[in-house]
Amino acid sequence: MPPIGVVSDCTGYDTGALALHFLGVDFRLKMVSELDANVRALMHQTHRFIQRAPEAIALDMVSRERVEGVDLYISSCPCQDYS
């Protein structure tokens, strides 16, 4: 079975992907969005798919491109600083 495609908005520290990893789910992040520049910088360092495709991280869910092959959509609660 191929990995499931995941898109995450208001990603934060990406606990959704962490949960999938701990559950043993084979998945590939297709796109993420995050407003906080420090968290985006952390994602660039820790997510291989972002290192290979830096355009896969968007500032917010409105500015990101349409993504094909998505099986699961995850959205966290917006940070209080930005909501």
- Residue range 39-61, pLDDT digits in tens: 888 877 777 666 566 566 666 56
Regions of the chain short of the pLDDT cut 70: 48-65, 78-83
- pTM for the model: 0.73
The pLDDT, as a whole number, for residue 14 is 82
Smallest CA-to-CA distance from 52 within 61, 60, 43, 39 is with: 43
Which pair of structure tokens corresponds to residue 2? 């191929």
The pLDDT, as a whole number, for residue 23 is 96
**What is the C-alpha separation between 82 and 68, in angstroms, rounded?**
28
Cβ contacts of residue 51 below 8 Å, gap of 6+? 44, 45
